């Protein structure tokens, strides 16, 4: 069986973390989130994978190359404009001649769920999950194991069963895509609804295993914490005397952890990092490569991407810090509940710190209020308070 | 990343293995070797290309064998360190891809027990370990041995006394069985065996496979049998190799953010190079050839600016005719391959005169690394395209890091300045990324150059060498004559050559030479030559003067050669592609120049 991974979208709701990479390349426990999907497919013996790429596709191609590293063969097809998931899938038509899987590249999926989908009866099937926030997905209505209706992002809370966007299709889906496309709709949910209306049976496979996806920036924290539980352990690099390491911790090559530092897993630290002395890293924190953390700083439940520099005596928790961010000393994120604006909607988020886009520079003694969403390449001078949303390239004096 | 292949069947193993190895060539390698079971086990291996191996190898006959290509990560590329490895009696042969982490302790144990080692590699312990556990059953010996090993591996082993099988095993490195009729294969990479079969079975971690002519059996290290379905792959070789790109050169251009990221790994925390250098030198000489020479010219600006020590740059082939160096000269040699004959000769000469020597190279353990006092690896990964791209930009990264080190040692850089510089270094991958994101516009600009008769590249200060590099890239792959000039020198001659059919690429970031560059651009457009200007984002002067403007992100001008180089690489690439040139292998050129 072949599989098609839809990886062409930018993920605009994940901005600013998609400024220089598509959302499927956002690091989760230091690996691009899409690697988890590829791995789940390979574990189920799916070797031929078609990547539909578009937005900043070269980032994906440079990482996955021909797929040999991942025991699969990858074929890249380009969707030149982001015109919807069905439009993207259409590009795979010429490569498909029998049943196949179609899935998004931005979620963490238990390989067992994939095998359930592969073994399911019926030609077309859809993997279903439960969600607390059904309004951000396609909501599904089931009768026994057949999908009777699917509604994209309903405003009312009509059911908490949602489509994971992971499908098994027969090639006849391409006809449905064309029909729906002629009506000006390019969404896979609409295609599935159309197939139901035409009397095609769509089986709903109810997944109970792990499934998490990244829609909003704060989802990165949950998905990271979840992936971290299964991350590899091991400590390379130079761990000085007097460093305490507890629990499941991974430290990459050529990293230096200096004396007096305390690391409590699950924690993943990349290569070439310079940590401490006297730095405290607490559970569910992942850190990319070339990160530098000055003395007396504490980081907890956060995702710190590549090339970040954190100053001394800072406190960072429940935060996502993008590539190359540089923060001075005495920085603090305040945790708590926040109302965060993404595109035109407001979202209430609990336990959130700061979300900071790549290459932003922050001076000394800056405080970030809960849910501060700071764009990429901003410059924030010392002794400021950050709150609300700042667009890319903002200057705060 | 090494490539491994094994064959068992009725055909001539040597020719099948050589062909399979050639299929892996595109991954890059520095040495290769074969082991064949005939009467006993015979093995031949060497540094260099597979074609050379084929020419120099003795007659080897057999129907079972192993083949290997190696890209050195630990231990230099050499005949001794190439695979396959043999045990003390020459009966067992083994090939390996991966890293054995506990090889030091295993090695010392085996040495105590009288095993003889011929190489520096981690792999060799495996073959001796298997020899130690061998008791008439190779499969059992392999399993016993692997239980003692920590690390990642895909291995394949043959034994002279068991002429009907290959044993292979995997942990965290790719391994696949190719199933033929009356013949079977094992490989690290499906591409290696697609010429013969498209039926494959994947081996998983901690599994051992016994391959015979008739079939294969998989079991775990704990001896539990495993059944594994045979899968059919239906892709073609073309698909695999370039991972979605049309040419290696384009693939490598787009790999630059990652290559630069890798070359920075671990360097910033240790700017003192482990305390290797002292401040005793009072002059610096940089020696290099070709593209590396252009890196050297940029290095001169970097070193002089950061350390205030005078720098001379020499071409490797001209160095021997210049004034000799002395003990107080620090000699920096730049060579991608580490094998460039002229640069190697210069390294020996400098050493003989008592200078401190540093090499900047991409190839671990290459010849230059044995001639110098300190080696700085650029870690760009294998580069297949003959035109250097990612290896050049990572050389620049190395020079910036080295420059900061020299400033630190000489006390000419303040602490705050160093923090500023290292911060910029950390941002380089994303500066380059944003140039790549602009590739479509660069392609449009390139289209205006396709039918040019000549092209001039002009720049000043640290971007004068960037102009040279732009012209070199351009002419070597598009076969259009191109020259790089210091912008101020145009009016001393070359201006006479300008016509409406000679585009000029003007490099004009906003440094202290900016005003003068604007003057030079006016000079050029007054002669009717189309101008493509490269400037910093939000520059408003350039669009008034130039026909086309390509913007790079607002990087500190002193670091602009890196993003600008990426621009000129893409210009060259798109023009050559449009002219249907042989981009990855330009006529008359070779990747590594090993003759003087």
The full set of domains in chain B, from first to last, is 3-241 (3.60.20.10), 243-429 (3.40.50.10490), 438-584 (3.40.50.10490)
> Is residue A44 included in any domain, yes or no?
yes
Cβ B282 vs Cβ B383: under 8 Å: no
> Is residue A221 included in any domain, yes or no?
no
- Asked if A208 and A288 sit in the same domain, the reply is no
**Chain mean pLDDT for chain B:** 87
Higher confidence at residue B319 or residue B158?
B158
Cα nearest neighbour of B230 on chain A: A45
Residue B310: per-residue pLDDT: 94
Q: Which residues does residue A107 pair with via DSSP β-bridges, in sequence order? A: A213
Domain with A352, as residue range(s), is: 228-396
Cα nearest neighbour of A43 on chain B: B204
Interface touch A271/B266, C-beta < 8 Å = yes
Cβ B268 vs Cβ A292: under 8 Å: yes
- Asked if A328 and A188 sit in the same domain, the reply is no
Higher confidence at residue B175 or residue B298?
B298
Residue B595: per-residue pLDDT: 53
Q: Contacts of residue B240 in chain A, CB cutoff 8 Å? A: 66, 68, 73
CATH number at residue A126: 3.90.550.10
Digit-coded pLDDT (tens) for B269-279: 777 766 677 77
- Facing B430 at nearest CB: one of A53, A254, A324: A324
Residue B230: per-residue pLDDT: 86
Last residue in a domain, options A162, A183, A215: A215
- Asked if A275 and A388 sit in the same domain, the reply is yes
C-alpha B170/C-alpha B180 separation (Å) is 21
Cα nearest neighbour of A66 on chain B: B243
Q: What is the ipTM of this complex?
A: 0.80
- Asked if A239 and A187 sit in the same domain, the reply is no
- Asked if A116 and A236 sit in the same domain, the reply is no
* Average pLDDT score over residue span A375-394: 94
Structure tokens at B254: 């787009």
Cα nearest neighbour of B239 on chain A: A75
B328: nearest Cα among B297, B355, B289: B355
- Asked if A208 and A275 sit in the same domain, the reply is no
C-alpha B387/C-alpha B520 separation (Å) is 29
**What pTM, to 2 d.p., does this model score?**
0.79
Digit-coded pLDDT (tens) for B105-140: 899 999 999 999 988 888 899 999 999 999 999 999
CATH number at residue A283: 2.160.10.10
Going by DSSP bridges, is the β-strand pair A124-130/A161-169 parallel, antiparallel, or unpaired?
antiparallel
Interface touch A20/B244, C-beta < 8 Å = no
- Cα angle at A300 between A294 and A301, to 5 degrees? 135
Last residue in a domain, options A189, A215, A241: A215
User: How many domains does chain A contain in total?
Assistant: 2
> Is residue A223 included in any domain, yes or no?
no
- Asked if A268 and A350 sit in the same domain, the reply is yes
Annotated catalytic residue B591: yes
3-state secondary structure string across chain A: CEEEEEECCCCHHHCCCCCCCCHHHCEECCEEHHHHHHHHHHHCCCCEEEEEECCCHHHHHHHHCCCHHHCCEEEEEECCCCCCHHHHHHCCHHHCCCCEEEEECCEEECHHHHHHHHHCCCCEEEEEEECCCHHHCEEEEEECCEEEEEEECCCCCCCCEEEEEEEEECCCHHHHHHHHHHCCCCCHHHHHHHHHHCCCCEEEEECCCCEEECCCCCHHHHHHHHHHCCCCCEECCEECCCCEEECCEEECCCCEECCCCEEECCEEECCCCEECCCCEECCCEEECCCCEECCCCEEECCEECCCCEECCCCEEECCEECCCCEECCCCEECCEEEEEEECCEEEEEEEECEEECCCCEECCCCEECCCEEECCCCEECCCCEECCEECCCCEEC
Q: Which of the residues B79, B91, B140, B591 is marked catalytic?
A: B591
- Asked if A48 and A185 sit in the same domain, the reply is yes
Cβ A360 vs Cβ A392: under 8 Å: no
C-alpha A373/C-alpha A387 separation (Å) is 7
Interface touch B264/A272, C-beta < 8 Å = yes
> Is residue A222 included in any domain, yes or no?
no
Residue B587: per-residue pLDDT: 63
Interface touch A326/B429, C-beta < 8 Å = no
Annotated catalytic residue B328: no
- Asked if A183 and A100 sit in the same domain, the reply is yes
B95: nearest Cα among B54, B123, B133, B122: B123
Q: Contacts of residue B189 in chain A, CB cutoff 8 Å? A: 68
Digit-coded pLDDT (tens) for A58-75: 999 989 988 888 888 899
Residue B591 predicted with pLDDT over 90: no
- Asked if A246 and A176 sit in the same domain, the reply is no
Size of interface A-B (CB pairs under 8 A): 106
Q: Does A64 touch chain B (CB under 8 A)?
A: yes
């Amino acid at each position: 069986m072949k599989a098609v991974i839809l990886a062409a979208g930018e993920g605009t709701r994940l901005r600013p973390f998609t400024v220089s990479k598509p959302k499927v390349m956002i690091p989760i426990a230091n690996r691009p989130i899409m690697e988890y999907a590829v791995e789940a497919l390979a574990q189920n013996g799916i070797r031929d994978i078609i990547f539909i790429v578009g937005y900043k596709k070269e980032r994906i191609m440079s990482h996955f190359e021909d797929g040999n590293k991942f025991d699969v063969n990858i074929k890249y097809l380009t969707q030149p404009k982001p015109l919807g998931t069905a439009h993207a899938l259409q590009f795979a038509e010429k490569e498909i001649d029998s049943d196949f899987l179609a899935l998004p590249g931005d979620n963490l999926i238990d390989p067992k769920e994939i095998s359930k989908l592969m073994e399911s009866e019926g030609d077309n099937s859809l993997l279903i999950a439960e969600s607390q926030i059904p309004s951000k997905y396609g909501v599904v209505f089931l009768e026994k194991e057949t999908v009777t209706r699917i509604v994209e992002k309903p405003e009312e809370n009509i059911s908490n069963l949602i489509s994971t966007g992971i499908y098994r299709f027969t090639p006849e889906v391409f006809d449905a895509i064309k029909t729906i496309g002629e009506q000006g709709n390019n969404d896979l949910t609409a295609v599935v609804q159309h197939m139901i209306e035409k009397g095609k049976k769509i089986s709903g496979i109810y997944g109970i295993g792990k499934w998490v996806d990244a829609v909003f920036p704060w989802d990165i924290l949950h998905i990271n914490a979840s992936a971290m539980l299964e991350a590899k352990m091991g400590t390379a690099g130079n761990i000085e005397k007097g460093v305490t390491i507890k629990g499941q911790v991974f430290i990459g090559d050529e990293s230096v952890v200096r004396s007096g530092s305390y690391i409590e897993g699950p924690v993943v630290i990349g290569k070439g990092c310079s940590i401490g002395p006297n730095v405290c890293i607490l559970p569910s924190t992942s850190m990319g490569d070339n990160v530098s953390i000055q003395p007396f700083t504490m980081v907890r439940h956060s995702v710190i991407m590549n090339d970040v520099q954190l100053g001394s005596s800072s406190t960072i928790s429940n935060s996502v810090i993008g590539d190359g961010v540089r923060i001075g000393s005495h920085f603090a994120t305040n945790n708590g509940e926040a109302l965060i604006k993404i595109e035109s909607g407001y979202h209430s988020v609990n336990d959130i710190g700061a979300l900071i886009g790549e290459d932003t520079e922050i001076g000394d003694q800056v405080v970030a209020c809960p849910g501060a969403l700071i764009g990429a390449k901003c410059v924030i001078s010392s002794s400021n308070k950050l709150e609300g949303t700042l667009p890319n390239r903002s200057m705060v004096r | 990343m090494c490539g491994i292949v094994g064959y068992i069947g009725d055909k001539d193993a040597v020719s099948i293995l050589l062909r399979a190895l050639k299929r892996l060539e595109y991954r890059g390698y520095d040495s290769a070797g074969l082991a064949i079971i005939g009467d006993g086990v015979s093995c031949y291996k060497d540094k260099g290309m597979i074609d050379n191996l084929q020419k120099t190898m003795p007659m080897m006959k057999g129907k079972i064998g192993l083949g290997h290509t190696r890209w050195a990560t630990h231990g230099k590329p050499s005949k001794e360190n190439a695979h396959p490895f043999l045990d003390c009696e020459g009966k067992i042969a083994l090939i390996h891809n991966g890293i054995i982490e506990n090889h030091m302790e295993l090695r010392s144990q085996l040495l105590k027990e009288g095993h003889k080692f011929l190489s520096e590699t981690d792999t060799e312990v495996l073959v001796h370990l298997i020899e130690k556990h061998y008791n008439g059953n190779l499969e059992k010996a392999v399993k016993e041995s692997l239980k003692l090993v920590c690390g990642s591996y895909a291995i394949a082993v043959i034994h002279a006394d068991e002429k009907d099988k290959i044993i292979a095993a995997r942990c965290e490195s790719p391994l696949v069985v190719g199933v033929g009729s009356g013949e079977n294969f094992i490989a690290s990479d499906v591409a290696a065996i697609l010429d013969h079969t498209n039926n494959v079975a994947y081996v998983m971690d901690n599994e051992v496979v016994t391959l015979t002519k008739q079939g294969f059996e998989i079991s775990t290290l704990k001896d539990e049998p495993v059944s594994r379905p045979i899968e059919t792959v239906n892709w073609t070789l073309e698909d695999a190799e370039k991972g979605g790109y049309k040419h290696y050169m384009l693939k490598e251009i787009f790999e630059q953010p990652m290559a630069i990221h890798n070359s920075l790994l671990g360097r910033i925390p240790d700017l003192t190079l482990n305390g290797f250098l002292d401040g005793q030198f009072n002059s610096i000489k940089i020696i290099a050839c070709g593209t590396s020479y252009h890196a050297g010219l940029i290095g001169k600006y970097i070193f002089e600016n950061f350390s205030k020590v005078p720098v001379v740059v020499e071409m490797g082939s001209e160095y021997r005719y210049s004034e000799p160096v002395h003990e107080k000269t620090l000699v920096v040699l730049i060579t991608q391959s580490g094998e460039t004959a002229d640069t190697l000769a210069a390294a020996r000469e400098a050493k003989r005169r008592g200078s401190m020597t540093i090499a900047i190279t991409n190839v671990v353990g290459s010849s230059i690394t044995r001639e110098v006092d300190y080696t700085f690896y650029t870690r760009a990964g294998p580069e297949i395209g003959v035109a250097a791209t990612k290896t050049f930009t990572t050389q620049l990264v190395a020079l910036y890091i080295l420059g900061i080190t020299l400033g630190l040692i000489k006390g000419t850089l303040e602490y705050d300045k160093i923090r500023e510089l290292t911060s910029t270094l950390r941002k380089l991958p994303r500066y380059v990324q944003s140039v790549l994101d602009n590739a479509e516009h660069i392609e449009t600009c390139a289209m205006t150059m396709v039918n040019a008769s000549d092209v001039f590249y002009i720049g000043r200060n640290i971007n004068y060498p960037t102009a040279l590099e732009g012209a070199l890239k351009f002419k070597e792959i598009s076969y259009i004559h191109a020259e790089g000039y210091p912008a101020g020198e145009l009016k001393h001659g070359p201006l006479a050559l300008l016509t409406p059919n000679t585009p000029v690429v003007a490099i004009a970031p906003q440094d202290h030479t900016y005003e003068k560059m604007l003057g030079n651009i006016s000079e050029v457009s007054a002669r009717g030559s189309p101008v493509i200007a490269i400037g910093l984002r939000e520059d408003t002067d350039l669009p008034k003067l130039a026909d086309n403007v390509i913007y790079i992100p607002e990087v500190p001008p002193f670091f602009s050669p890196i993003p600008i180089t990426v621009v000129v690489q893409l210009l060259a690439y798109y023009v050559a592609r449009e002219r249907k040139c042989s981009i990855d292998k330009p006529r008359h050129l070779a990747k590594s120049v090993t003759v003087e």
